[in-house]
Every structure is written in C-alpha cells, then in structure tokens.
Amino acid sequence: MPDVSRRSATAPASPIRRLYPLAEEAKRRGKKVYHLNIGQPDIPTPEEYLQGIRGADVEVLAYSPSQGLPEAIEAFRAYYAEWGIELAPDELIVTAGGSEAVLFAFQVVCDPGDQVLVPEPFYPNYNGFSHLAGVELVPITTTREEGFHLPPRQEIARLITPRTKGILFSNPGNPTGVVYREEELELLAELALRHDLFLIADEVYREFVYEGVHRSVLSMPELRGHAIMVDSISKRLSACGARIGAFASRNPEVLAAARRCAMARLSPPTLEQLGLAAFMAHPRHRDVMLGMVEEYRRRREVLSEQLSHIPGVLFHKPEGAFYMMLGLPVDDAEAFVRWMLTDFPGEETVMLAPGEGFYKTRGLGADEARIAYVLKEQDLVRACQLLKEGLELYQEVAPRAQV
C-alpha cells in the first residue's frame, strides 16, 4: 500500500475529539456521559433560522456564488452594522464555518515555513490548520494567574522574526474566556503596524462577553490593511452543523486572495445561508442572540460556584465565550480524563478536554483541562459533583491506576 503524506500522517488529532472512542465505549456500557469537552451547545437552534431552511423555495439545490449568496452577505452586513461595523458587500466572504475562514486566513497570510504568533492556550484546531498549511505557530504564553491576558510588549516583540507574518488570536478567547482590553488590542495593532504583520482576530464569540467590552479588529481604522476577521454563526445561533461563517477584511489584496481560495471550494452551504438571511430578517433576531448570552452568563455563575467547592481545582472566572481552563490536582490530566471514562464507578461520568493540546509549548497544560459550559444548569451541577467525586477517588487510586 502507498504511504499517506507525512503532512497528513503527522497532523495533530484534536484533543477535544481524540478521546471520543472512550466516551462511546462508556455509553455502550450504559453510562451517561456529561460532555463538557466540546463547545456543542444544548440550546435549540432558533426556529426563525430553521424556518428559513424549511421554507427555502428551491427547485435545484445549486451552488451559491463562491463568496456567498447575496442574501447571506446582506445578512452578515446587517449583523455587523448592528455592531457599528460598516462593511461593503465585497469586504466579506461567506465560508463553511469559522473553520474554513481560519483555513483561508492561513492560506492568504502565509507561505509554507512562515510563522504566526498566537496567545496560548489557544483553540487547538489552529494547530491542525497551521500544520496542514505548513505554518509554524509561535506561542505567546499566557497564564491563569494573569487571567490569560497578554504579557508585556517586549515578551511579544521578541518572538517576531523575519518569518513572522501575522498574529492570530480569538477574542473572546477559547479556551481561556479572556476578553482583550482596549490597551491590549492597541498593543497588538501597534506591533502589527510596526512589523507589517496581519492581525487575524477570531471573533466567533463576539457577543459572549460578561465582563469588559468587545472590540472588533474591523473597528480599528488604522488596521485597514492589516486586519482579518474570522467569524461564525455556529455558537451565536447554536447552529454548529449549519457550517456558516465569514472571512472579512478591508484589504483588497487579502480579499482577492481569499476569493481565490473560495473559488477552489466552489460554494458554502446554500440552504444554511438562506436560513441566515431569514433569521436576520426576523425582528426578534437580536433578542434571540442576546437571550442565549444571558443563558451562558447564568451557567458561568453556576459553574464558578460549583467549581469553587472542589478542592485543588484552580480557575480564572472567564470574561467571555463559554469555556474555562482548569488547573487540576493531578499530574497528568489526560490520564485522569481517560480514567473518568474507563474506570470511574457508577452510572454517570463527565468528560473534559485534556489541557496539553491547547498549548504549543511542551509540558504546559499537562495538569489542566478545558471545560465547555454548554449544558443546562442542573447538568452542570451534576457534572461538577461527578468531577469532585472523581478527583477524590482518583487521588486514592491513581498511584495504582498508573502502574
């Protein structure tokens, strides 16, 4: 048999999904698994969106234009206008989720061998996408003690080399929940301008802000030529399966390059774009989105309260998004996560995402795990009870479990 490419053979598996087979096996044994490992919200997708898909009057389910259906582009523009961001129709491209927008960003910004700085811990699929694009991610390490905010300027500046092409960050942050302050965005903008780098902001959690204020890179006029924004409806419409996102910029060359990437894959999903157009045309759309944010705000409170009762668990209360990076009282969080799925007794268990895959720096995150608070309050409470019991038991049996 021929060998597969080294590039695909060495691509990192997502730490969010890698242990799924163990969860599936646990379920086959009749166990209920509380999934706190993945940002798949349990909130119903708004009827206004689904109605748009059901009511779509199509005879042929055709490709849409590569940059998106005019209706979907208008829907995104209307959405951004509500955030005070005016975009021309040709300044955004509809993508297959935020994922494809990230992929386009790497393709547009970098050649193989180039580098992109990224605050760590970061969304692990950045690893997968950069690996496939032949791009090296260079981590800007942030810590729980500092609330995962950026380190001082000189620590970032010293990472910039002639191969650095951009800085990528998610704001609000997955997995940290950080919401960057005005002065942090100004620092990144200043570095981008001084060193002529692209600033790629992943803003898929734009409205999920509980402390502080979100500022989009597209609202910084000095970044006209340098800013790229990556976006998605997956979370704000609880529509992860729709696969609708956006790539936006005000730089004509960036847009032309991204359109070429878009042409190669022909079209984003057609029906789901129609769903978005219908949703945005509905007078309640803003209330629906903000209602979801309120739900997560409550969950964040419940989760923080519950976690504060678990001895040895460390966390920074997230300012945004719906994740928390936990410090756990174990040496090897992955072994603990596995054990919760394979050996934890009883009818129920909880699944977290082991922390190491959220870091580029070797050794960091080994005693951490990410929680996605995407379950309803009573499930979060139960999951925290299970986590507490699991940690207590594991600390007793771990020395034996690990031999």
Ligand X SMILES: Cc1ncc(COP(=O)(O)O)c(C=O)c1O
Residues that bind ligand X (CB under 6 A): 39, 97-99, 102, 123, 170, 174, 202, 204, 232, 234, 240, 245
Question: With contact defined as beta carbons under 8 Å apart, do 221 and 193 qualify?
Answer: no
Q: How far is the CB of 194 from ligand X (least distance, A)?
A: 26
Compute the least distance from the CB of residue 323 to ligand X, in Å. Answer: 8
Cβ-based nearer residue to ligand X, 26 or 125: 125
CB of 124 to ligand X, least distance (A): 9
Sign for the CA dihedral angle at 276, 79, 247, 118 comes to negative
CB of 97 to ligand X, least distance (A): 3
Q: Least separation, in Å, of the C-beta of 358 and ligand X? A: 11
Tell me the residue type at 370: R
**Pick 105 or 191: Cβ nearer ligand X:** 105
Nearer to ligand X, 273 or 344 (CB): 273
Tokens of 79: 């959405």
Considering the complex, state which of residue 206 and residue 388 has its C-beta at the smaller distance from ligand X.
206
Q: Is 206 helix (H, G, I), strand (E, B) or coil?
A: coil
Nearer to ligand X, 174 or 306 (CB): 174
Choose between 100 and 389: whose C-beta lies nearer to ligand X: 100
> HEC string of 107-142?
HHHCCCCCEEEEEECCCCHHHHHHHHCCCEEEEEEC
What are all long-range contacts of 315-318, with beta carbons under 8 Å and residues at least 24 apart? 315/144, 316/144, 316/147, 316/148, 316/176, 316/177, 317/177, 318/172, 318/176, 318/177, 318/178, 318/210
Residue closest to ligand X, measured at CB: 97
> Minimum distance between the CB of residue 269 and ligand X, rounded to whole angstroms?
12
CB-nearer residue toward ligand X: 67 or 238? 238
| Contacts of the segment 305-314: beta carbons below 8 A, 24+ positions apart | 306/380, 306/381, 306/384, 306/385, 307/384, 309/384, 309/388, 310/384, 310/387, 310/388, 310/391, 311/391, 312/391, 313/387, 313/391, 314/144
Least Å distance, CB 134 to ligand X, is: 20
Nearest approach in angstroms of CB 293 to ligand X is: 16
In sequence order, the 6+-apart residues with CB closer than 8 A to the CB of 357 are 12, 14, 15, 16, 18, 124, 127, 365
Taking the least distance from each CB to ligand X, the nearer of 46 and 245 is 245
CB of 330 to ligand X, least distance (A): 25
316/184 Cα distance (integer angstroms)? 18
**156: exposed, middle or buried (Cβ count in 10 Å: 0-12, 13-18, 19+):** middle
DSSP 152: P
Q: Are 17 and 269 in contact (CB under 8 A)?
A: no
Residue (231 or 389) nearer to ligand X, CB: 231
CB of 117 to ligand X, least distance (A): 16
202 vs 367 by CB, closer to ligand X: 202
